Structure 1
Amino acid sequence: MLSAGGTGVGMTADEGLEGTISLARTADQRGFHRFWMSEHHGMGATSVSSPPLMIARLIAETMHIRLGAGGVMLPNHSPLLIAEQFGMLEALAPGRIDLGLGRAPGTDGATATALRRGADANDAFPQQILELLGFLGDDFPSGHPYRQVHAVPGPWQAKENRVTVPPSTPQVWVLGSSPYSAQLAGQLGRPYAFALQFGDADVDTAMRVYRESFQPSDVLAEPHTLVSVPVAISNDPIEAKRQSATSAMAMLRMFKGEGYLLLPPDEVEAYQATLQERHILDAYTDRSFHGTAETVGARIEALQERTGADEVMLVVGGHSTSLDQEGISLIADHYAMPRLETSLAAAAQ
């Protein structure tokens, strides 16, 4: 599983987007299961502000891999709008669409205000998820104010047109990095994705809370978990660490209010950090799973054994998109993952 989307200093927006497309093609060819992009706004180093738009493009570029948002920040949007967008994506690629839902703004405070027009948007997150699920399934209870409101495409449209209701819907995940999101995912009976790339998040507590609070649903009989980790993989471990340091510097810049940017590794190495800044840079660099495929693979396996996660997602996004692409091929080779047919023209013949 992969999570991606970034533009380094010296790259144009279209180059960053093309890098994401190329990465998705490679992930599809090398047998990865999912490819997710997260919603971010007002950040110089991120290239995906609208995951649904990017997913629509990637549907035409891939054949096998599941495509998704990891995630859509639901308080930024109307649940009906997201249900319609992802219903359309599911119609375009049945059985291949994931919808991860988060409540963080995905940006700075001022931009969040411009997006949300309200300081209490996060408070309604559980209710927003229930509305979204109601629109996706067209199953609001009798008397609900949205009982006669229908997301199109969706089950209601199929019934109106006297055709079979599609068997698949977008797979809805709850995302987070805290016990709050873990408990919510468990109570809803939905799969849970934990973002370990954010700070000193307590993954062990979150996994325990999720499993203890899990209630079987019509889509999931038992808990299902995913843990995402930042990675930089190369045959040259020094270069892998340099790429991890660029991501660490981007986090430091964000903490300082200077904007999340992926600077060239040479510029990061030349930076004269204070003792406190050096502590942050080292902590985020060390948190990243960087090194050769064998080194990274060993850390992934240790994490999976520790957390019992059903899936591990690799978050790539250093300054070099070519290293990201090389890295996922190296880890695929390490695990002897199959090479899959990716010729859309051949598949159509």
Structure 2
Amino acid sequence: MSDASDAIRGTAYGTAPVPLSVLDLATVGRGLTATQALNNSVALARLAERRGFQRHWVAEHHSMPGVASSSPAVILAHLAAHTERIRLGSGGVMLPNHAPLVIAEQFGTLEAMAPGRVDLGLGRAPGTDGATAAALRRTDRLGEGADDFPQQLAELIRFLDDDFPDGHPYSRIHAVPGPVQGPTGRPSVWLLGSSGFSARLAGALGMPFAFAHHFSARNTLPALDLYRSSFRPSAVLDEPYSVVCVSALAADDEREARRQVMTGALSMIQLRSGRPGLTPTPEDAEAYAYSPMEREFVDSWVSDIVHGTPDAVRDGLNDLQKRTAASELMIIVHAHSGEVRLRNYELIADTYGLPDLAAQASS
């Protein structure tokens, strides 16, 4: 197994069946501020490190008042300054929104700040609505970026490795920090997806793959099957490595878990109806007058969330891992309160068998 493969697979994870990781949107709840949300992200990263989670990723979203994660590289630099061991990364950077050289520079800088700890997860969706995507890209040709994704990816990796061939227009351009400055590592590059396109591409290139089960559950098994059947060993991986991202919320009792889950469901109703806003409170969700169509959506949305008591969540995660054969599970939680999110990850770590590294260090 290569050093790159070791970096992807990470370290020991206690008695848990597979590693667990965190996907963080820096959620901004109604009545709260972006500053509070980002402070909570720091607290969450430190908790995740202490409790043996494998990695902490942040996701790129734009023009969404309920999240504060529009600039993953900036947030990751801040998290790197407050952690020591946990892998940090993007889940993901939406590559068509950016020039590959810019991403190579940003994540090369992060790798220099936190050597051996940086993951660069890449997606091809805009992470927002069409008008915002056009404003980001300064073009109305939004399909062009997605269609060019394999070429953009190849260019980005060339910049990260500093190995454009002689005669290439970019052969004398160097992404810095990077290899031109001396022997150095580079971020671990992942592909993210919610359908088959990136699954097939990740397999063909021998790259690790993360699937967005939390909002595309019906496509999970077909995409993972496609990834594994397409997989070709590479210098990065000798066999497939898949992460399944799942929405999960554990609370002390089932009723409270359902109450907290409803805040995320109402957020999605608002987003899909063109009314995105700050994440509602549980009281907002309880008082909302759901139409029959909205109620049907809520039931479908909640059915894909693993929620309930800690034991129920553990059993749900185990079932998902067995059904998908995921190498790792990544947990996202939609809740109004930072305290609820922190408590969720603590409860899951306890019941799933993750080690308390701080307790081990002091014993």
For 1:152, the equivalent position in structure 2 comes to: 176
Q: Deviations over 1:176-211 (max 9, x none)?
A: 010111001111111000001114441111011101
Q: Aligned with 1:202: secondary structure?
A: helix
SS of residue matched to 1:220: coil
1:81 deviation in Å? Answer: 0.7
In the alignment, is residue 319 of structure 1 matched against residue 340 of structure 2? no
2:273 to 256, 268, 275: 256
1:8 aligns with 2:25: no
1:177 to 170, 182, 194: 194
Structure 2: gaps spanning 5 or more residues:
1-20
Query: 2:319 and 2:207 mapped to 1: Cα distance?
Result: 25
Q: How many percent identity over aligned positions?
A: 49
1:341 positional shift: 3.9
> Are 1:177 and 1:201, in contact at CA under 8 Å, matched by a contact in 2?
no
Cα distance in 2 between the residues matched to 1:144 and 1:218:
23
The letter for the 1-side match of 2:92 is G
1:53 is matched with which residue? Answer: 74
Aligned length: 336
Matched AA of 2:67: T
> Which residue identity lines up with residue 46 of structure 1 in the other structure?
V
1:152-301 maps to which residues of 2 (within 5 A)?
152-158=176-182, 165-166=183-184, 168-301=185-318
**Residue correspondence of structure 1 range 106-121 to structure 2 within 5 A:** 106-118=127-139, 119=141, 120-121=144-145
SS of residue paired to 1:70: strand
Deviation at 1:335, TM superposition (A): 2.6
- Please state how far the C-alpha of 1:144 moved relative to its aligned partner: 2.0
1:223 and 1:94 map into 2 onto residues whose CA distance is 24
Q: Deviations over 1:265-323 (max 9, x none)?
A: 11111111111110111211221111111111111111111111100000123111101
Counterparts of 1:243 and 1:133 in 2: how far apart (Å)? 41
**Deviation beyond 3 Å, 4+ runs, structure 1:** none
| CA deviation profile, 1:10-42 (whole Å, cap 9, x unmatched) | 111101111111111111111111000000111
Aligned alpha-carbon RMSD (Å)? 1.4
Q: For residue 66 of structure 1, what is the aligned residue in structure 2?
A: 87
* 8 Å contact kept, 2:109–2:176: yes
Q: CA-to-partner distance for each residue in 1:193-246, whole Å, 9 max, x for gaps?
A: 000111444111101110111111111111110000011111122121112111
Where do 1:28-107 residues align within 5 Å? 28-107=49-128
CA spacing shift, 1:206–1:199, aligned 2, 3 Å: closer
Structure-1 separation of matches of 2:193 and 2:216? 12
Normalised by the size of structure 2, how large is the TM-score? 0.90
Choose from 330, 334, 340 the match for 2:351: 334
Residue 150 of structure 2 is aligned to residue 126 of structure 1 = yes
Q: Please say if residues 217 and 304 of structure 2, whose CA atoms lie closer than 8 Å, have aligned partners that are also in contact.
A: no
SS in 1 for 2:148: helix
Q: In structure 2, what residue type is equivalent to 1:20?
A: S
1:254, distance to aligned residue in structure 2 (A): 1.2
| Structure 1 segments unaligned to the other structure (5+ residues) | 159-164
Alignment partners' CA distance in 1, 2:298 and 2:289: 12
Contact 2:120 2:188 in 1 (8 A): yes
Kindly state the Cα deviation for residue 340 of structure 1 after the two structures are TM-superposed. Answer: 2.3
